């Protein structure tokens, strides 16, 4: 499959952190307008982008800097994996799977309507190998950090998003063709507010 090199993210936005926090809301109605590659790039960078090349630190904190989170982008064109180190999208599966993903998410229609859906998945053994069972908690905490970063970045870009926790894990894995050890933990539909 294809690799899409993403534009370099911006490090100065139009909205202060305080304004983004004040305005942040869950949005469930999206227009049909597609997102630009710049918008997609910015959202993915906010989720897991590298902030320090030397140490590999990212935008979201991670217990032990083990980074168990893997990000997948679902769009009309297909399913893509976000390659953090290259800041690119690696094609996984061609074709529009949003309708199937919508069904796997208990028919929450905004999944099908949104031009971009982010699936936050976790590789638990990365963290649990160091922290044992407590690592499970740390992974879910990290997924929350990633989600909040996406919420704030979307608000800064004038976009809407909603976090979704209700879905059939195995169905999502099958539809997206996730690796065996990548477990979906959170899903976010993203688009222009209607």
Model pLDDT, residue 1: 74
Mean pLDDT over residues 166-185, rounded?
98
- pLDDT confidence tier of residue 148, bands split at 50, 70 and 90: very high
Kindly state the tokens that stand for 93: 């599966």
Nearest CA among 111, 87, 86, 110 for reference residue 176:
111
Q: Is the pLDDT of residue 126 over 90?
A: yes
Q: Is the pLDDT of residue 82 over 80?
A: yes
- pLDDT confidence tier of residue 36, bands split at 50, 70 and 90: very high
Fold of 3-8+13-192: NADH Oxidase (3.40.109)
Which pTM was predicted? Answer: 0.96
Kindly state the tokens that stand for 127: 């963290």
Alpha-carbon distance of 47 to 62, in angstroms, equals 12
- pLDDT confidence tier of residue 30, bands split at 50, 70 and 90: very high
Q: Is the pLDDT of residue 26 over 80?
A: yes
**Coil, strand, or helix at residue 175?**
helix
Q: Is the pLDDT of residue 174 over 90?
A: yes
Sign of CA dihedral 48, 52, 55, 57: negative
Domain boundaries, the chain: 3-8+13-192
């Amino acid at each position: 499959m294809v690799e899409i090199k993403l534009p370099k993210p911006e490090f100065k936005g139009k909205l202060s952190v305080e304004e983004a926090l004040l305005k942040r809301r869950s949005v469930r109605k999206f227009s049909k307008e597609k997102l630009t590659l710049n918008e997609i790039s910015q959202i993915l960078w906010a989720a897991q982008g590298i902030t320090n090349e030397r140490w590999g630190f990212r935008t979201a904190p991670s217990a032990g800097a083990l980074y168990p989170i893997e990000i997948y982008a679902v769009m009309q064109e297909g399913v893509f994996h976000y390659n953090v180190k290259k800041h690119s999208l690696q094609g996984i599966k061609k074709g529009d799977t949003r309708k199937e993903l919508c069904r796997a998410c208990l028919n929450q229609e905004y999944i099908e309507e949104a031009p971009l859906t982010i699936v936050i998945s976790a590789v638990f053994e990365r963290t649990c190998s160091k922290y044992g069972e407590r690592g499970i908690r740390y992974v879910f905490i990290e997924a929350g950090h990633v989600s909040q970063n996406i919420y704030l970045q979307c608000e800064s870009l004038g976009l809407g998003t909603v976090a979704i926790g209700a879905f059939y894990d195995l169905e999502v894995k099958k539809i997206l063709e996730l690796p065996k050890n990548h477990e979906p933990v959170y899903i976010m539909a993203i688009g222009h507010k209607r």
